[in-house]
Amino acid sequence: MAKLLYIKASPRGRHSYSVAAADTFVRAYKAKNPDDRVVELDLFNTKLPKFDGFALQAKYSIMGGQQHTHDEKAAWEAVEKVINEFKSFDKYIFAVPMWNFSIPYQLKHYIDVIVQPSYMFSFSPDKGYTGLVTGKPVFISYARGGAYGPGTGAEAYDFQSRYLEHILRFIGFTDIRTLITEPTLQQGPEAAEKNKSRSILKAEEMAAKF
């Protein structure tokens, strides 16, 4: 029985295009793999630990090879809890809107909490950085108001997929499957509905092979 973590980074509920495709993906996956368990992490309804003060110092202590002080250790426990929860899954699903050409702040906050040295990546002077989350597939459903795909001339503005996939590869992911719903605004509601329907069909197809 595999455990899947479904991370929602859109707060738009039933209005969200990234969630519509990811929900379809999850439903299709569950239909095919009824014994597997999907746990939802709705980032806009989750209280993440603040990443400042002693928690931040604790990160620098790890990077400097120093022991945590009493205060750092206490602050670090909350961070460790989120990391351990993330790492306990076998497969991952993300629903991610484009916000200001990048990802929503709640997802960036989550990334800043979980991407930690010695948990998600290691460093050595001879080997450089090594990702520690290996052998796990990830499916990402993106939505964008405009269009940024190949041939649009706006490819360079896409810091959403480029950033998210960069950080996922940095921590060890190699099997990254993506589905883009775009544009959801730029060409009006009719085009948006068409793009949504296309993504929903594609999500079902992709779930069958996940």
Ligand X SMILES: Cc1cc2nc3c(=O)[nH]c(=O)nc-3n(C[C@H](O)[C@H](O)[C@H](O)COP(=O)(O)O)c2cc1C
Residues in contact with ligand X by CB under 6 A are 10, 12, 16-19, 97-101, 143-146, 184-185
Give the residue with the Cβ less far from ligand X, 41 or 97: 97
Most distant CA pair in the chain: distance in Å?
A: 58
Question: Strand 128-131 to strand 37-42: parallel, antiparallel, or no bridges (unpaired)?
Answer: unpaired
Give the residue with the Cβ less far from ligand X, 159 or 170: 159
Give the residue with the Cβ less far from ligand X, 61 or 178: 178
- φ, ψ (nearest 5 deg) of residue 203: -60, -40
Q: How far apart are the two ends of the chain, measured CA to CA in Å?
A: 14
DSSP 22: H
Query: What are the tokens at 81?
Result: 């809890």
Other CB atoms within 10 Å distance of the CB of residue 21 = 29
In the bound complex, what is the minimum distance in angstroms from residue 97's beta carbon to ligand X? 3
In the bound complex, what is the minimum distance in angstroms from residue 197's beta carbon to ligand X? 14
In the bound complex, what is the minimum distance in angstroms from residue 132's beta carbon to ligand X? 30
Quick check: 43 and 7 in contact, CB under 8 A?
Answer: yes
In the bound complex, what is the minimum distance in angstroms from residue 154's beta carbon to ligand X? 8
Compute CA distances 177 → 13, 25, 36, 201, whole Å: 23, 12, 19, 15
Give the residue with the Cβ less far from ligand X, 122 or 152: 152
Give the residue with the Cβ less far from ligand X, 114 or 140: 140
In the bound complex, what is the minimum distance in angstroms from residue 26's beta carbon to ligand X? 15
